[in-house]
Amino acid sequence: MANSKLGVDIALDGSLSLLTSTGSSDLKQSQTGDVARIDDVSTVRQALTKRLNTRKGELWAHPKYGCGIWDILSDLMTDTWYLEAVATIREAINDDPRSSVVSVTYEAVQQERYVIFTIVYQVIDGRQDNLIWDYAPEEVTGSV
């Protein structure tokens, strides 16, 4: 049974965008042709991915929403960079009151400036979930 404290949201496709650059909708459809919805842990996972994909300060009405990793995009990927990246991810996940970070690990391909972050988090009802977040300056994706 779904936990009402985790919320309900519209289901976005893998790009987590309401509109594509061509103006077409990226909303998922239900079997009846209506807008699909998600609830429970799926809502939290989608919200966390959207938060990670948003630059902190990008939403003018919510300047603290987002992830600070975008501020270090052009920095060299040193050990210090990875520590800072993990810290910004932890902060973004913990900013959602429905989740708290258990662990953040990464696998890096420095020559290609590509990093795969594995984020394990706990939702407020005690269940754990994980999120695989691919980070590269050109393209960032999250698995929903």
For residue 3, name the pLDDT band (cuts at 50, 70, 90): low
Name the architecture of domain 4-142: Roll (3.10)
pLDDT, position 19: 39
Q: Flag whether pLDDT at 16 surpasses 80.
A: no
pLDDT, position 105: 97
pLDDT, position 111: 78
Instruction: Read off the pLDDT of residues 81-137 as tens digits, 9 standing for 90 and up.
Output: 999 999 999 999 999 999 999 999 999 987 787 899 999 999 998 999 999 998 876
Average pLDDT over residues 25-37: 68
H or E segment to which residue 128 belongs: strand 128-136
Per-chain mean pLDDT for the chain: 82
Q: Flag whether pLDDT at 17 surpasses 60.
A: no
CA dihedral angle for residue 13, residue 141, residue 24, residue 33, rounded to 10 degrees: 0
DSSP helix/strand/coil, 118 = strand
Instruction: Read off the pLDDT of residues 33-47 as tens digits, 9 standing for 90 and up.
Output: 677 777 678 888 989
Could you tell me the pTM of the whole model? 0.78
Map out the domains of the chain as residue ranges: 4-142
Q: What is the CA radius of gyration of the chain?
A: 16
Strands 128-136 and 139-142, by their bridges, are antiparallel
* Dist. CA 37–CA 51, nearest whole Å: 19
Average pLDDT over residues 44-67: 92
